[in-house]
Amino acid sequence: MAIRDDLITQLTLNLAGHSAYSISSELPYVSGEQPLYQKNMKTVYVDEQQEDITALFNSLDNNDVNQTETTVSAYLVTDAKNQTSDIDTVIANCLIARNGITAPQKSSSVTTNIENDIITYTFEYEFVTV
C-alpha cells in the first residue's frame, strides 16, 4: 500500500497549515452504523488502494509489460452550517496531493454530497504506472 501511505504523507504536509483539519492513518471503516469520517468531522480518511493490472504489451519471451491503474478514495466531512473560512483552500490542497506521488499519469477529482446539514467531500485519486 505504498501509494496510500505516500498520499497520507502528502495530505499531512498539504494540510499542516490548517489547524482545524487532520489526517487519519486509519481506514474509513464503519463503526456502529456510521463511517468513521462522519463521526470525526474535519478529519481526512484515506481508503485502501484498488489496483487494476492489464497487459500493455505481450512479448515472445513472456516478459509482458503491464499497466497498473491505482485508485485511492479519501473522505472529508464538515458541518454545512459551520464551514471554516479556508474550506476552499483545504479542498484544493487535498486535490493537489496527487503531485506527491511518482507516476507518469495522475489525476484527482472531488464530489460533494450534502445530507442533513453534513457535507461529504469524496476525493478520487488515480495513478497509472507502467
**pLDDT value at residue 65:** 82
What pTM, to 2 d.p., does this model score? Answer: 0.89
User: Could you give the CA distance from residue 73 to residue 36 in angstroms, rounded to a whole number?
Assistant: 14
Mean pLDDT of the chain: 92
At residue 60, does pLDDT exceed 70? no
33 versus 122: the higher-pLDDT residue is 122
| Confidence at residue 1, expressed as pLDDT on a 0 to 100 scale | 53
What is the SS3 assignment for 4? helix
| Number of domains observed in the structure of the chain | 1
* C-alpha–C-alpha distance, residues 12 and 21, integer Å: 10
The distance between the two most distant Cα atoms of the chain, rounded to a whole number of Å, is 61
* Residue 10: domain span: 2-129
**20-59 burial string, b = 16+ CB within 10 Å, else e?**
ebebeeeebeeeeeebbbbebbbbbbbbebeeeeeeeeee
- Cα–Cα dist 74/47, whole Å: 6
CATH of the domain at 94: 3.30.2000.10
Predicted local distance difference test score (pLDDT) of residue 57: 76
